Amino acid sequence: MERVAFVLKVRADRIEEYKERHKHVWPEMLQALREAGWHNYTLFMRDDGLLFGYLETEDFDKALAAMAERDVNAKWQAEMAPFFEQLDGKRPDEGLIRLEEVFHLD
């Protein structure tokens, strides 16, 4: 199982709304993530909007590609894009900065 970590930056003026939106993720989006192989998917955020994401998957590139094929993902990404800094025209799932794993206890 591949462990994946990434960061994005939520705009300071959108932090509370971003948190609220994630209390009500669309059921069809949740199902799509599961079907695409996203397991143990978790988001953490610092007070300044630095977002840290973590998930486990068999193959991250395949998991991203599987989501990219889904209409619900395109709609979700379009709604979420204005929440982020420095996407340079990319969708959030295209603009995330993947972190290198340097240690794992097990």
Model confidence band, residue 7 (pLDDT cutoffs 50, 70, 90): very high
pTM, entire model? 0.91
Per-residue model confidence (pLDDT) at position 106:
87
- Asked if residue 15 is part of any domain, the answer here is yes
Maximum pairwise Cα distance, the chain = 39
22 catalytic, yes or no? yes
> Using one digit for the tens of pLDDT, what is the confidence trace for 38-96?
999 999 999 999 999 999 999 999 999 999 999 999 999 999 999 999 888 888 999 99
Q: Which residues of 22-53 are buried (b: 16+ CB within 10 A; e: fewer)?
A: eeeeeeebeebbeebbbeeeeeebeeebebeb
Structural contact between residues 42 and 50, judged by C-beta atoms closer than 8 angstroms? no
Per-residue model confidence (pLDDT) at position 52:
98
- Asked if residue 32 is part of any domain, the answer here is yes
| Single-letter amino acid, residue 30 | L
Per-residue model confidence (pLDDT) at position 88:
86
Kindly report the number of other CB atoms within 10 A of residue 95's CB atom. 18
CATH number at residue 43: 3.30.70.100
- Asked if residue 29 is part of any domain, the answer here is yes
How many domains would you assign to the chain? 1
Per-residue model confidence (pLDDT) at position 31:
98
- Asked if residue 104 is part of any domain, the answer here is no
> Using one digit for the tens of pLDDT, what is the confidence trace for 13-28?
999 999 999 999 999 9
- Asked if residue 106 is part of any domain, the answer here is no
For 14, the domain range is 2-99
- Asked if residue 75 is part of any domain, the answer here is yes
**Which is catalytic among the residues 22, 24, 39, 104?**
22
The answer to whether residue 105 scores a pLDDT higher than 90 is yes
What would you report as the CA-atom Rg of the chain, rounded to the nearest whole angstrom? 14
CA distance linking residue 51 with residue 104, whole number of Å = 21
